[in-house]
Copies of this chain bind each other. A is one copy, B any other.
Amino acid sequence: MSTWTACVNRELHRTPPRHLSYGDPRGLRELREAVSSYLRSARGVNCTPDQVLIVAGSQHALSLCLEVLVDPGGEVWVEDPGYFGTQGAVRASGAQLVPVPVTTEGIDVEYARSRAPNARVAFVTPARQLPLGMTMSLNRRLALLSWAADAESWIVEDDYDSEFRYTSRPLGALQGLDREQCVLFTGTFSKVLFPAIRLGYLVVPESVADAFIAARHFNGFSCPYLEQAALARFMNEGHFERHVRRMRSLYGARRDMLLTSVGRYLRGRAQPGVADGGLGVVLWLQHGDSEDAIAATSHRFGVELLPLGRMTVAHATAPGFFLGFGGLPETEIARGVRVLAKALEEYDRKRRAAV
């Protein structure tokens, strides 16, 4: 925060008068350059600064994509289970939600093609499926690209937290495999920095860049100058890269604590899902367990749980919870898992009594 504050302070005292005006609807040039060079090297994204739009976070990017790419009533593939922010944005836009199940390789493209071959957009999380955590396989990526090319449709790659990978180098972006210019790529600074900065990015194919600029002009969303200038400086001076490295090690330790605690207190009762990256992991329960009853018990004990059912539209998974560990110190994580173990004991006791 002190480095960030210093960057803001520097820009605050040297704002050129021309930057007090409306500015480029795509966002500040310096920041678009910094983002495009970061995405090229860190994520293998193919883009120039002119394809980068600075947005107010990834939810804003998803909503812009819907506005520009989908007419009312148009079909949109979403992962099921998936992020409720995506599902909600699709519904709010007047488009038609097509929930698509997820296999160990990622979104089930074959299912989706049989169900809604002419969908206009597919929203996907290839780096780490939200919430299940698996990486989309290469075969699945190629199948998805091939569908988009055939249907002349779009893929929106939501790269929401790929900065944090603990056990292996992250797979490059799906966008980097795109030969047909049909992939849009979005990410946010909300998680890697902090949400109140309200900054993220959307990389669009050249063919639709003008349509996005026009949409932003008329919907009036652009980001203030100061945070953009400060972030460009923060990135250009190398602070961003150092921050990501430091946070990766901090979050990695939290993830390890979560896995260790689950192994210690929940062994045989619940087990973690894929946990090689990100800021949250699924905890799988046993067949027949009631997510809601366990969450209610745990809530009484002071621990809030997010049932997978809340992230599901039509394709129920086995019962489980999505556990976020990014915002909790290690001692709190261990305590939370112990509380959850007690809640599960109470739940099991009551269920035995009822039988």
Tell me the complex Cα distance, A219–B20, Å: 26
B220 close to A57 (CB less than 8 A): yes
Given A13-B5, A72-B94, A222 contacting B194 (CB threshold 8 A): no
Which B residues are CB-close (under 8 A) to A222?
Answer: 56, 198
| Residue from B15, B56, B58, B219 within 8 A of A92 (CB atoms) | B219
Which B residues are CB-close (under 8 A) to A88?
Answer: 217-218
User: Separation in Å of the A142 CB from the closest CB of chain B?
Assistant: 30
Which B residues are CB-close (under 8 A) to A57?
Answer: 220
Given A12-B5, A195-B20, A227-B226, A56 contacting B89 (CB threshold 8 A): no
Copies of this chain: 2
B60 close to A219 (CB less than 8 A): yes
Assess whether A19 is interfacial by the CB under 8 Å rule: yes
- The SS class assigned to the A binding surface is helix
User: Separation in Å of the A313 CB from the closest CB of chain B?
Assistant: 15
Given A217-B88, A219-B89, A220-B61, A226 contacting B20 (CB threshold 8 A): no
Tell me the complex Cα distance, A88–B216, Å: 11
B92 close to A21 (CB less than 8 A): no
Q: Which residue from chain B places its CB closest to the CB of A89 in the assembled complex?
A: B218
Q: Which residue from chain B places its CB closest to the CB of A228 in the assembled complex?
A: B196
Tell me the complex Cα distance, A60–B62, Å: 17
Which B residues are CB-close (under 8 A) to A63?
Answer: 218-221
What are 15 A-B contacts defined by CB distance under 8 Å? Answer: A8-B12, A8-B226, A20-B196, A22-B190, A22-B195, A22-B196, A59-B217, A60-B219, A60-B220, A63-B218, A63-B219, A85-B220, A89-B218, A89-B220, A91-B218
